[in-house]
Amino acid sequence: MYPLKFNPILKERLWGGTKLRDVLNKPIENDITGESWELSTVKGDVSVVSNGDLAGISLQELINTQTNDLLGVSVAERFGKEFPILIKFIDAKQDLSIQLHPNDELAKKRHNSFGKTEMWYVMDADQDAELIVGFNKDVAKDEYANSIKNDTLLDLLNYEKVKEGDTFFINTGKIHAIGAGVLLAEIQQTSDVTYRVFDFNRKDKNGNLRELHTEQALDAIDYTKKDDFKVAYSTEKNEVNTMVDCPYFKTNFIELTENIKQDVTSRDSFTIYMCVGGSATVKNEFGEANLVKGETILVPALSKSIEIISSGAKLLEVTI
């Protein structure tokens, strides 16, 4: 159970571009690739190991056969044989649709799914690139419904200019969208439940408008203005700096100019490293794997220590 790498699962999107290839060296074959799913057990999109003796085996198969060793006992007790988070890189050449995600209770009731709490780490942003996060004032439900009918929703939304390193926490119910020119890393609950409420009247390659979820969204939205989304975090070098610590995942920022070694005996969770800059080698007792910008590694939970060898890397470290 050495550090595991997986083949990226690439997704064409109406709004996608070429940065996944040009910046992160993903093997995309067209100019509208919007997402690279790095770690997934979503049905139909299950990650497959790409390195070492386990190459060719799916993440789900490893979880089924080596549950506690891979996930950790406490994670397995909580989530069974489901991988609890979904890891992606996203390239928005155009604005994404304006959307939100239901909470666990509503998602379970309507879709037999988890909700979708997520976070974004901006890796690259064109000049004046923006994100939409929340409302610019408290909005009444009727006011929101009228804005959908009158095509004035954009007037109610909060816009945030972004640059590399900016980090946002998107809790369930918060209306949001990734703006054109943004390349980011996304960490989220395992769920593909999204309520799309506005899509700029775009049509797909067959000339059809994409489905909107106007009625479903009404009871899922948080209509209050909140300034709880921008994440402030330390960037002290060669230290583990906490970014987000929520019930669904914990994410740390690590910028290395030298090697570090962590005792993770008591962690009882897998550890994920997303490389958002530079390069590193990640080692546990059973082996090692190299990591460059745009790559992701999963270190199984049975690891007692993790060593990261690097003279220059920026990593997002994710656990449960």
Known binding-site positions for Zn(2+): 101, 118, 176
Residue-by-residue DSSP string for 226-277: ----BPP----TTS-EEEEE-SS-EEEEEEESS-EEEE-TTT-S-EEEEEEE
Burial of 75 (0-12, 13-18, 19+ CB in 10 A): buried
Pick the catalytic residue from 196, 202, 210, 267. 196
Bridge partner list, 54:
none
User: Left if phi > 0, otherwise alpha if psi is -120 to 50, otherwise beta: which for 168?
Assistant: beta
Give the whole-angstrom CA distance, residue 27 versus residue 195. Answer: 30
3-state DSSP call for residue 69? helix
Establish whether 196 is a catalytic residue: yes
Nearest to 277 by CA among 298, 260, 299, 253: 253
Q: How many residues does the chain have?
A: 320
Q: Say how many CA atoms lie within 13 Å of 143 toward its Cβ.
A: 11
Give the integer Cα–Cα distance in Å for 119 and 187: 5
For residue 310, how far is the Cα from the chain centroid?
A: 24
Residues with active-site annotation: 196
